[in-house]
Amino acid sequence: MELSEYRAKLDAIDDQMAALFKERMETVKQVADYKKANGVPVMAAGRERDILYRVTGLAGGELEEYTKILWSTLLELSRDYQENRLTTGESPLCRDILAAAERTGQFPTRAVVACQGIEGAYSQIACDKLFPLSQIMYFGRFEGVFRAVEAGMCRYGILPIENSSAGSVTEVYDLMEKYNCKIVRSLKLKVEHCLLAKPGVSLRDVKEVVAHEQALDQCGDFLKSSGVKITVFSNNAAAAKYVSESQRTDLAAIASVNCADFYGLRVLSDHIANSDHNYTRFICISKTMEIYEGADRITFVTSASHRPGSLYSLIAKFATRGLNISKLESRPIPGKDFEFRFYFDVEASVKSKDTQTVLSQLEKEDFFTFLGAYSEVF
């Protein structure tokens, strides 16, 4: 046979499969209507296990694993279709989201904002970009920012969530679950680390470098080549201030050029990060849900049941609707052995019916918290 003949044969098989798929989904719809009328849950783990056992046995041999993947996907689509049939009207969450989007006005230019660190910190730089007219309250720890926002001391809080080189700021993820705050905007900030010291100190004089652990990681190549002692500080700006107040002439800090100007330090070396493409994402949090015009991403946290394919089932809800998951972060559940919460960033508008459908389904999960709808600025 020629290749064209094989392809024609495949096309004919595909036509049959499409017709059978349509027939199957019509039957699934009838099953969903029955379950709705009789209060039967969508998920039937025993039934799905029996189906997989039967069809993989029919295929057998080298096709057994491929058959399992194909039918697992088919069963996932069937569940999703049933859930759509069983979900009628707006869910409580979607009503709250749409109400927030309706009442939220323009993003403010002035506000009282909580930041971790001191003057000169990257959080302060991020704050100035988001709020040109702001009153900043500084806190020593990330948790202080959350507490200030939750208590109403500040309307907003600015926090780093991830870096392109060093990865996620896991403490902030853990605090997002602990405190009832929502993300209202995010900012992608280019981070340009410099080595700073007091005037008169040269690079060869430096024996110790102080900085936040993320900055130390981001500048690891430079530090290894210099062979200096490294000391972790709570914040880069605090490290710069410490160097400016010290009498030592063998001490330097990693911080921004803003800190050099602010604390009277000299730049010994600039662009010392491992990569020139060094960005930190900051989130702006609020006590209340605020959804501004143009919000094109959502963040939520959920858990997956302890069974094979459960995380895939969550991801498939978005994949089948063409919604892109831009980030997936797992964090351990305290007190549980090897069980995790999953933080999702999804490129989606809450005004989209597809997004609302998925959120309505996720709201029924054992654990689910919507963390905000927002846009990212640069």
CATH of the domain at 246: 3.40.190.10
Residue 313's pLDDT is 82
pLDDT, average across residues 342-362:
93
Q: What is the pLDDT of residues 212-256, one digit of tens each?
A: 998 999 999 999 988 899 999 988 999 999 999 999 999 999 999
Range of the domain at 99: 89-104+293-378
Do residues 42 and 55 both lie within one domain?
yes
Do residues 320 and 365 both lie within one domain?
yes
Do residues 71 and 100 both lie within one domain?
no
Query: What separation, in Å, do the N-terminal and C-terminal C-alpha atoms of the chain show?
Result: 58
38: in domain: yes
126: in domain: no
Total domain count for the chain?
3
Domain end point (choices 86, 119, 136) = 86
Do residues 97 and 54 both lie within one domain?
no
**CATH number, domain with residue 100:** 3.30.70.260
Do residues 297 and 378 both lie within one domain?
yes
Do residues 263 and 225 both lie within one domain?
yes
Do residues 12 and 57 both lie within one domain?
yes
145: in domain: no
170: in domain: no
Domain end point (choices 51, 86, 121) = 86
Q: What is the pLDDT of residues 268-319, one digit of tens each?
A: 999 999 988 889 999 999 999 999 999 999 999 998 876 777 888 889 889 8
Residue 86's pLDDT is 79
220: in domain: yes
| Phi, psi angles (nearest 5°) of residue 228 | -90, 160
111: in domain: no
Determine how β-strand 376-377 pairs with β-strand 324-332: unpaired
Residue 215's pLDDT is 93
Do residues 329 and 342 both lie within one domain?
yes
Residues 6+ positions from 169 with CB-CB distance below 8 Å: 142, 159, 160, 161, 162, 163, 214
Give percent above pLDDT 70 in the chain. 99
Sole residue written with tokens 């001191």: 118
pTM: 0.85
| CB contact at 8 A, 343 and 299 | yes
The one-letter code for the residue type at 326 is S
CA atoms within 13 A on the CB side of 328: 12
Tokens of 71: 């039918």
Q: Is 123 helix (H, G, I), strand (E, B) or coil?
A: helix
Do residues 99 and 63 both lie within one domain?
no
**CATH number, domain with residue 68:** 1.20.59.10
Tokens of 42: 């969508």
Angle of the 64-86 helix axis to the 45-59 helix axis, nearest 10: 150
Q: What is the DSSP letter of 181?
A: -
Residue 88's pLDDT is 63
Mean residue pLDDT across the chain = 92
Domain end point (choices 30, 60, 86) = 86
Do residues 12 and 71 both lie within one domain?
yes
pLDDT, average across residues 57-72:
93
Do residues 232 and 262 both lie within one domain?
yes
Do residues 255 and 321 both lie within one domain?
no
Q: What is the DSSP letter of 190?
A: E
